[in-house]
Structure 1
Amino acid sequence: MTIARPRRSALYLPASNARAIEKARTLDADVVILDLEDAVAPEMKAQARAQAVTAAREGGFGDRELVIRVNAIDTPWGSDDLAAVANAGADAVLAPKVSSADDVAAYRSRLSQVPLWVMIETCASLFRLDQIAAAGPECLVMGTNDLAKEMRAPLTPERTAFHPALAMTVAAARSAGIAVLDGVCNAIEDPQVVGAACAQGVEFGFDGKTLIHPAQIEACNAAFSPSPEALAHARAVVAAFADPANAGKGAIRVEGGMAERLHLAEAERLIAVAAAIASR
């Protein structure tokens, strides 16, 4: 089974901060997102763009996936961002404020063959998730802070108001066969809150989570990696179905419980995920 590269932790860093970019080359995040949008003041946009392009061309990020988040296409900086990053050599470009399949197409037409990731952070996008996911992005990324602002709903640690949006975004991504990342946790200095946020993302079925600080990486990587117990059970399921005594059976007993063929597929996926993480 082929599994896409691990995307457990995706760290946003302002591309206007040269020191942060250099540090990113040493961090244990699976994905580094150089941000030209929310984290950059208007007067720093041009500098941030130039530094992001230079960083992408210089490389040095090892097996980390490098993504550049551009400003929205309808802002004063969007067109220049897209022109600059289209041939910069980043692994992907992240487009904000996407609300329709037409928005996806507009970004796609400006990026040549660069993989496109899109933010799900507007109210309008929630009613077109299946269309957006099917329009060709490689990854959906939750933007819960912007979504909270648009909905005028409090972004509590439990994220109660956003459960439908989170679940439906994951479902849309799975239907389209693409990756999906959870939104950020705004807590930095409270490891319990960060840990709980990562665990919730796992429960919803996300592949990983976007982060705002390096201190969040360790908890995120741990949460989105298969646990030793889960991996051991997965191997037991695979071994049981491989037993000639169970040939042709659709459901068997494994470690005191029932396992069906659908559980075999999930077990094989989990083992492949663990192998991909180990190879990183």
Structure 2
Amino acid sequence: MTVEPDTYRPRRSVLYMPSSNERALEKAKTLPVDALILDLEDAVAPDAKEQARENAFAAARSGDYGRRELTIRVNGLGSQWHDADLAAAAAAGPDAIVVPKVGSADEVRVLVAAMEAAGAPARTRLWAMVETPVAVLHAEEIARASSRLACLVLGTNDLYKELGATFAPGRAAIATSLQLALLGARAAGVAVLDGVFNDVSDAEGFLAEARQARELGFDGKTLIHPAQVGPANQVFAPDPGQVDDARAVIVAFEEAQAQGRGVATLHGRLIENLHVDTARKVLATAEAIAALS
């Protein structure tokens, strides 16, 4: 099956919600979050897996989550719950199915084949979690493996564990991994999301990490608490000054072209095609975010 390329949609804030918690699923309907990951994996105890699967299926079929991108994270390949999770998620037809610990392009192809065999509609994309050294080193191959794959999601907690690294502000221990995954996603033309920040009481620490991810080029951040939604939305959105500057860049370049010049200047800055492309992306991002209101 050929899947059409995604149009841009904001994924500034992507919140994990345990599907075993019905109150949490209900609360999610009111949150100003761009996307939800209804979790069947880490956040769900083994004896609650089946109920969580039923809850996620019902939520995805309900139509009650409005403009929020709705995804379901299944248990990983090889686990005792994976096949049933994937079949139920495919039948529910969410915006995407999120799969943990995807390690190769071959695994992507296996997952896509299973989704299609289970009747997943074309609109249901695959999000692959990059959580191991092997996955990081093959991020581009994973991202290019299928047109159904729309996003790479960093699993930073698992990366720290697999690397034997220790967390510290600034994330120097996983900086290379973040950048390699980002490079792989961008080379393949898919979205990429940063991992979670674990200390929900450390608002300043969260902001610093979100700003780092934004500066690196990530599309957004995965979250573990509703209190992180607002700050993530702000960090990963263009501010009014950036929007005004983007408009000015486009106007300056168009005026230069009308005068037969291939470059322009704006407040002493040289403006070329690449700057115009960036400006148009800023405006498209701002317009897509405004459309969510």
TM-score after normalising by structure 2? 0.92
Q: 1:141 aligns with which of 138, 153, 159?
A: 153
1:124 corresponding residue in structure 2:
134
Check if 1:223 corresponds to 2:227: no
2:119 corresponding residue in structure 1:
none
How far residue 3 of structure 1 moved from its aligned partner, in angstroms, is 5.0
Q: Secondary structure at the match of 1:119?
A: strand
How far residue 216 of structure 1 moved from its aligned partner, in angstroms, is 0.3
How far residue 186 of structure 1 moved from its aligned partner, in angstroms, is 0.8
Matches of 2:42 and 2:152, distance apart in 1:
18
Matches of 1:116 and 1:244, distance apart in 2:
43
Q: Secondary structure at the match of 1:109?
A: helix
How far residue 261 of structure 1 moved from its aligned partner, in angstroms, is 1.0
How far residue 251 of structure 1 moved from its aligned partner, in angstroms, is 2.4
1:170-218 deviations in Å (ceiling 9; x for gaps):
1111111111111011121121111111101101100100000000001
Q: Secondary structure at the match of 2:249?
A: helix
> How many correspondences in the alignment?
279
Check if 1:66 corresponds to 2:70: yes
Unaligned runs of 5+ in 1: none
Matches of 1:247 and 1:263, distance apart in 2:
18
2:3 corresponding residue in structure 1:
none
How far residue 250 of structure 1 moved from its aligned partner, in angstroms, is 3.1
Q: 1:104 aligns with which of 108, 126, 129?
A: 108
TM-score after normalising by structure 1? 0.97
1:34 corresponding residue in structure 2:
38
What amino acid does structure 2 have at the position aligned with 1:77?
A: W
How far residue 246 of structure 1 moved from its aligned partner, in angstroms, is 5.2
Matches of 2:137 and 2:151, distance apart in 1:
18
1:56-97 deviations in Å (ceiling 9; x for gaps):
111210000000000002001001101111110211000100
Check if 1:181 corresponds to 2:185: no
Q: 2:210 touches 2:221 (CA, 8 Å); kept in 1?
A: yes
Q: 1:120 touches 1:142 (CA, 8 Å); kept in 2?
A: yes
Moved more, 101-110 or 205-214: 101-110
Matches of 2:139 and 2:259, distance apart in 1:
40
Q: 1:18 aligns with which of 1, 19, 22?
A: 22
2:268 corresponding residue in structure 1:
256
Q: 2:151 touches 2:190 (CA, 8 Å); kept in 1?
A: yes
